[in-house]
Amino acid sequence: MRSEEIVSRILHRDGLMLVLDKPAGLPVHPGPGGGETLARHLDALRFGLKWRPELAHRLDRDTSGCLVLGRHPKALRTLAELFAKGRVEKTYLALVAPGPATAQDAFTIDLPLAPVAPDTPWRMKASPEGQEALTRVRVLARAPDGSRALLALEPVTGRTHQLRVHCAASGFPIAGDAIYGGAPRGAALHLHAWRIAVPLSRAKPPVRVEAPVPEPLARTASDLGWGCGPNTAEGA
């Protein structure tokens, strides 16, 4: 991937932060296997500043959508504090298979999470001994036979792999999840960081950014009867 393509995926830019539409399949940090990462392209996102932007949070390699970067050290500290205090509103879209067994269209998953093992802190499990983890769920569309559903997921806490583990542990794993959902290795994860709201100023409304829904998630959402344009009604 060229740096020009990364630049073209900027959704929002101001003096403090950038919001980037991260493509699925691009890791944000280098891993033990090497290869392409977003970190290699950060110098192309300076836009005249002496500092390169740095990540204010992270997305998994196979998750697409809104990724926030701080443009200078002070901005990065501010953003990190907002994320740490849970003041940044995040909404993800996820295709799950099967759909939730409950007929409710809005509910909360409250399952503490802990690492599967001390030497794999990146792989999580639901455990009463783990840290508190809360996810708000809204069902946006369902297949008539219950085989699939499109969900809006709002993580109240920010645990590693929280959305993926919560959905899988609740009986409706995210489609394409090879780690927690039993999908074949290399399958496309249908999880998209759709909307984000960052309260940068006490005197102004939060900065709200929406990332376009990528294929094939957009096509599947349409098949389920849900529109995914910028004017889509909440919960429609």
Catalytic center residues: 60
CA atoms within 13 A on the CB side of 96: 31
- Of 60, 57, 58, give the one whose Cα is nearest residue 25: 60
Report how far apart the first and last C-alpha atoms of the chain are (Å, whole number). 35
The pairing of beta strand 64-70 with beta strand 191-198 = parallel
d(CA 178, CA 173) in angstroms, rounded, equals 10
Collapsing DSSP to helix, strand or coil, 19 comes out as strand
Instruction: Say if residues 65 and 192 touch (Cβ distance below 8 Å).
Output: yes
E-only strand ranges, 103-190: 106-110, 113-117, 120-126, 134-142, 149-155
Burial class for 8, CB neighbours closer than 10 Å (0-12, 13-18, 19+): exposed
Collapsing DSSP to helix, strand or coil, 39 comes out as helix
Distances (CA, A) of 20 to 41, 127, 143, 209: 12, 33, 32, 10
Buried/exposed 129-144: b ≥16 CB within 10 Å, e otherwise:
ebeebbbebbbbbbbe
